[in-house]
Amino acid sequence: MSDHQTSYTINSMLGRLYLKNKAFQSLDLEAQQSIIQDILKESYNSDVNIGEILSNECFSKYKETEEERTISTIFQICSYCTEVKDNVEDYGREYNRQGFCLDCANKVFSEDEIELERVDKQ
Ligand SMILES: [Zn+2]
């Protein structure tokens, strides 16, 4: 059974660092991705759910923000294979979104579902 509380705690910290403290925005994308991957690696010490860590759940706490992307898509790290990819897109609705790279989206969804589940780009 996965440790949901730890997953959401890490997700919440990432949301706070990104939106409130703007801790990542001064770094280039590669440096940002390296930090996120280190955090994911450390989180494996618990039985975490990577999809929950990389979700957009955390942004629901900041009502003044327009940010709707998942952590996954912001940092271009697939929530399924956890690799850095340049084609990570969000799928799903509201706060139940997940960012997948195209390869993983093809594994998770059927061809019809991909279009159906893809979140329209803002
Ligand atoms: Zn992937």
Q: Where are the domains of the chain?
A: 4-117
pLDDT of residue 49: 93
Q: Kindly tell me the burial class for residue 11, based on how many C-beta atoms sit within 10 Å of its own C-beta (0-12, 13-18, 19 or more).
A: buried
Determine the distance separating the centroid of ligand 1 and the alpha carbon of 40, expressed in angstroms. 15
Average pLDDT, the chain: 90
Q: Determine the distance separating the centroid of ligand 1 and the alpha carbon of 97, expressed in angstroms.
A: 15
Instruction: Tell me, in angstroms, the distance from the centre of ligand 1 to residue 113's CA.
Output: 17
Q: CB–CB of 15/59 below 8 Å?
A: yes
**pLDDT per position as a tens digit, 5-32:** 999 999 999 999 999 889 999 999 999 9
The confidence score (pLDDT) of residue 114 equals 81
| Length, in residues, of the chain | 122
Does the pLDDT of residue 87 top 80, yes or no?
Answer: yes
Q: Tokens 């997948």 correspond to what residue?
A: 100
Q: What is the structure's pLDDT at 74?
A: 96
